[in-house]
Structure 1
Amino acid sequence: SRHPALAAVLAPGSADAQSVIARWIAEHAPFAVVEAKPVALESWSQTGFGNWDLLAALPELTAEVPVRLVAQDHVSVQTDGQSWLRIEAPAELGFLEEDFGQFPRRSVPKRLEPLFWTGPEKNFAVIDAAAFPALPERLSASDMRHGCLFEGKAEQELGETAPWLVELAPDQRIVRDLFAGTAREGRDPVRPAAVFLSSGDTFSDLRAHLRQFVRLKSSDGGWARFRFWEGPYPFGLIEAVARNELPEFTRFFA
């Protein structure tokens, strides 16, 4: 084909990847032209734009099949900020009242119930443990599926202040506490404690997608934490993308 393609390569390092793909080309595509050096997946995930087929191909790589070609089809992006992204003014919902005597007790404000529990998609929240006391312990004691967006040493050291992805259920007290304000006792009462999402993706796929954004490349080439789950960061991000000022972040919403 005359059309360009990306190659996913299973190898321990860049030099090894060069050797693997050179052998593969000699055997399968002797007339192919390679115009770029291999890029580690972590670096590509931070700067790559579109081409979700590549991520889907990665689990299929094996020692027997160490190379897969993927068509170079990027996510189509509208730059007018109208057809693919709609921003609505936030509803002034306030918190749930302590509705003692009402049964069943609501877990979200009445105006939000159609958005949470009636559609075909599942409901999730990225909850800021720094604004929700004892969140890891409460999640462990609940029946809701959950996982920290940090992994390894970062989760061990920062889990009490880290973001946690939670699949919501209407009968869980944690959901009610997010809207009742009791989760933020003694803290700034207007500070958001969670970002809510509806998605048809699996929990694992959504967590893997969001984990790409917990740290980003800084201007000096290092890494910096990006607290997208904490206001006002998500609002600024959405507005900047809508104005086409950060086109690389459209993949955040894909």
Structure 2
Amino acid sequence: MSEDFWLDIESVAVQRADRPLVLQIEDISKVEPLDKQFGVDPKRSVPDVLRPAVFGGQDGASQCFAILDAGKVENLPEMLATSGLEYRCLFKGETAEELSEVAPWLVRLEDGNKFTMGLFTRSCDTGILRMARFTSAPASTETLM
């Protein structure tokens, strides 16, 4: 068993009153980040190999959430505030207020969003991006907390 809970999990069913919500975790290797996409129209939000995993099928029922570490991403709370995406600090109350600059954040990724595109674009920074795709009717960060 790994020390990392997320590496051992295959599929978790979260029961809701109206329907099951299924979390899918998949290891996808050999992913090349996007380049600056000069002259590309429309610009891609994610590398092609990740599109099915991130944005799912044609039915629009899949959603992808990323957990981001503000301790590793400078100005993350401010960037999220201007992203146009739904997001939420995983800390609550005074702890969230005091530690927002180093806290973990949950953000729902959307196709065509500049913030989403930025997460998958090559930069000098390296890190691990953890994502979870939920297959269900649309949810929000509120229903996940």
> How many Å separate the matches in 2 of 1:142 and 1:88?
26
| Offset of residue 115 of structure 1 | 2.2
| Offset of residue 107 of structure 1 | 1.1
2:54–2:64 contact (8 Å) kept in structure 1: yes
Query: Which of 19, 24, 30 does residue 92 from structure 1 map onto?
Result: 30
What's 2:102 paired with? Answer: 161
What's 2:89 paired with? Answer: 148
Q: Which has the larger radius of gyration?
A: 1
What's 1:45 paired with? Answer: none
> How many Å separate the matches in 2 of 1:147 and 1:181?
25
Query: Which of 179, 193, 197 does residue 120 from structure 2 map onto?
Result: 179
What's 2:41 paired with? Answer: 103
> How many Å separate the matches in 2 of 1:94 and 1:181?
8
2:25–2:132 contact (8 Å) kept in structure 1: no
Distance 1:98 1:158, change over 3 A: same
Distance 1:87 1:124, change over 3 A: closer
> How many Å separate the matches in 2 of 1:152 and 1:87?
30
CA distances 1:202-254 after superposition (whole Å, capped 9, x unpaired): 22222x1xxxxxxxxxxxxxxxxxxxxxxxxxxxxxxxxxxxxxxxxxxxxxx
Query: Which of 170, 175, 184 does residue 111 from structure 2 map onto?
Result: 170
2:37–2:43 contact (8 Å) kept in structure 1: yes
2:114 corresponds to 1:114? no
Q: Secondary structure at the match of 2:101?
A: helix
What's 1:198 paired with? Answer: 133
> How many Å separate the matches in 2 of 1:113 and 1:198?
11
CA distances 1:22-56 after superposition (whole Å, capped 9, x unpaired): xxxxxxxxxxxxxxxxxxxxxxxxxxxxxx88x97
CA distances 1:79-102 after superposition (whole Å, capped 9, x unpaired): xxxxxxx98653210211122001
Q: Secondary structure at the match of 2:38?
A: coil
RMSD of aligned Cα (Å): 2.6
More helix by share: 1
TM-score norm. by structure 2 comes to 0.71
Structure 2 unmatched ranges of 5 or more: 1-13, 18-23
2:66 corresponds to 1:128? no
TM-score norm. by structure 1 comes to 0.43
For 1:196, give the aligned amino acid: M
More strand by share: 2
Structure 1 unmatched ranges of 5 or more: 1-51, 57-85, 209-254
| Count of residues paired in the alignment | 121
